[in-house]
Amino acid sequence: MSGDPICSVRDLKKHYPITRGLLRREVGRVRAVDGVSFDVERGEALGIVGESGSGKTTTAHTVLGLEEPTAGEVRFDGEPVSELTGEERDAFRRRAQLIVQDPNDALDPRMTVGEAVAEPLRIHGLDDAERRNAIVADILERVGLSGDDADRYPHEFSGGEKQRISIARALVVSPDLIVADEPTSALDARVRSEILDLLDRIRREFDIAVLFVSHDLDVIRRSCDRVAVMYLGEIVERGATDSVLADPAHPYTRVLLSSVPSLDPTDRELGRPLTDTVPNPSDPPSGCRFHPRCPDVIPPADLSVSESTWRAIAGFRFSVQAGELPEAAVGDPESETGTGGDRAGEGRTAATVRRAVGLAEELPDPDAEAAVEDAAAALAAGDVDAADETLAAAFTSVCEREAPAAVDRPADAGAERVTTGTVSCLRHGRSGSAEAVRPDGDAETEN
């Protein structure tokens, strides 16, 4: 049916085994992609954005069949990619093309540009050399080069021109889907703008779907109709690009936006992560995977402190866990607490530790005050593990106990309810609720 997506991904997982010893015994798994679902509509541009290590490139490569999925399904034009064989598999490889970050990886320096661009045509059965040359000349001109460039070699071109050649090589077989993996990250601002304009023009002219993979929100904002935000192997928010970036619902999306430099001094602070350390994907946090870094982590129900104080407590707790404490906050375990000394870490007290982590004032909640004081005393004595255990026992958040389900992104107050995407955050819903949300935002009631 013409209204069906060109590519449909459901509960896609890609795990890599961790092995040790001569017998290569498996001791764990890196969960690079861990249950991702989305659709790419015909002719649209969908962006997948996230930090390095979020799993976005692995997702793209698995969609193309370059990686074998651990679980889940990828359907292309309605057919399961894993079940394609023979001519159907060849047709899929023609209809789904990849543009890589570094065009040098796609171009053989020993081949002329014409040979490189014509190679996919030859592989897919076009044996007429004259016809291949005519198609190559036409495609080179469509990407802003000259047909005469076919006789030149890649080293004779600039980085931006090489990326145009790479785009021509992907376009020459008339694909229905192009996966663009960080296609402009190695280019300067002017050339980056030109390449993005080229990709947008090609998408509209040939009605090609484009799956953009990028860490750059400006690229996504400029080029994509919809965006999916990935963190540690999962999609945490999705929706129309303008809607998600103008009014982000997930704290991680706000963190990404806050990292983009702005010349506007009136821009509001969207959010800074509690810690900088991205957890190991072989051992992701329980519950919401973003909770150890989340500036909006939900406080314990019985905690009676202000929002700003809770954020300071949560920052203290997870900085201890991540090992990101300032030097002034950790004492020397071999020194006597409270005494002077020349070595770093000597002479720490609970008071100096509390000042270093921004919790110098006594807390109004007696239980919270006792826990912070005990943890600070443990750190002053150099016992980081004891401080970690104390804080974890006193300040356990629902965010580390429950994994959030995907729910509708909140609509504007007072507006008629319309689906603008989904968000996976306990601030907007709890797992196990009566309403589940499909990957592209349509709600359905569970039995």
Same structural domain, 60 and 177: yes
Spell out the alpha helix ranges (H) of 323-435.
350-356, 366-380, 384-394
Lowest mean pLDDT among 50-64, 98-112, 267-281: 267-281
Residues making up the chain, counted from first to last: 447
The answer to whether residues 194 and 80 belong to one domain is yes
Q: Quote the CA–CA distance of 85 and 8 in Å, as a whole number.
A: 19
Using an 8 Å Cβ cutoff, are 155 and 109 in contact?
Answer: yes
User: How do beta strands 209-214 and 177-181 pair?
Assistant: parallel
How far, rounded to the nearest angstrom, does the alpha carbon of residue 64 sit from its chain's CA centroid? 18
Could you tell me if 17 and 166 lie in one domain?
yes
Domain check: are 59 and 178 in the same one?
yes
In a domain, 242, yes or no: no
pLDDT tens per residue, range 306-363: 999 999 999 999 999 999 998 888 887 766 544 444 445 556 899 999 999 999 999 9
pLDDT given at position 444: 44
Residue whose pair of structure tokens reads 């292309």 in the numeric block: 76
Average pLDDT over residues 377-392: 95
Residues 313, 215 share a domain = no
Number of domains comprising the chain: 2
Q: Is residue 439 part of a domain?
A: no
In a domain, 115, yes or no: yes
Domain shared by 188 and 77, yes or no: yes
Q: What is the mean pLDDT of the chain?
A: 87
Q: What is the pTM of this model?
A: 0.87
Q: Is the pLDDT of residue 127 over 70?
A: yes
Name the DSSP letter for residue 5: -
Which residue carries 């540690």 as its tokens? 232
Once rounded to an integer, what is the mean pLDDT over residues 283-312?
94
pLDDT attached to residue 15:
95
Q: Is residue 202 part of a domain?
A: yes
For the beta sheet containing 79-80, the strands, ordered from the edge strand earlier in sequence to the opposite edge, are: 25-40, 7-20, 71-76, 79-80
How far apart CA 432 and CA 48 sit, in angstroms, is 27
Identify whether residues 312 and 221 lie together within a single domain. no
pLDDT of residue 25: 86
Structural tokens at position 264 = 């506007």
Q: How far is CA 177 from CA 8, 50, 77, 284, 337, in A?
A: 12, 21, 10, 32, 64
Nearest to 177 by CA among 124, 285, 99, 275: 99
- Nearest alpha-carbon partner for 394 in 379, 362, 372, 378: 372
For the segment 209-241, what is each residue's pLDDT rounded down to a tens digit? 999 999 999 999 999 999 999 999 999 999 999
65 and 179 share one domain? yes
Assess if residue 355 is contained within a domain: yes
Question: Would you state the structure tokens that stand for residue 305, as one six-digit string?
Answer: 């402190």
Helix (H) or strand (E) holding 62: helix 56-63
Residue 405 lies in a domain: no
User: Would you place residue 22 in the very low, low, confident or very high pLDDT band (cuts 50, 70, 90)?
Assistant: confident
- Res. 268: pLDDT tops 50: no
Helix or strand run (H / E) with residue 243: helix 241-246
Residue 143, pLDDT > 90, answer: yes
| Domain of residue 343, residue span | 307-396
Domain boundary among 179, 199, 232: 232
Last-in-domain residue among 176, 201, 232: 232
The pLDDT of residue 447 is 35
**Looking at the structure, do residues 228 and 323 belong to the same domain, yes or no?**
no
Task: State whether 171 and 317 are in the same domain.
Answer: no
Residue 224: inside a domain:
yes
Distance CA 258, CA 438 (A): 29
Q: Is residue 164 part of a domain?
A: yes
pLDDT for 269 beyond 80: no
Residues 6+ apart with CB under 8 A from 124: 90, 94, 173
Cα–Cα distance measured from residue 409 to residue 216, given in angstroms and rounded to the nearest whole number: 22
436 confidence band (pLDDT: 50, 70, 90): very low
Over range 362-376, report the average pLDDT. 96
CATH of the domain at 112: 3.40.50.300
Do 263 and 82 touch, CB atoms closer than 8 A?
no
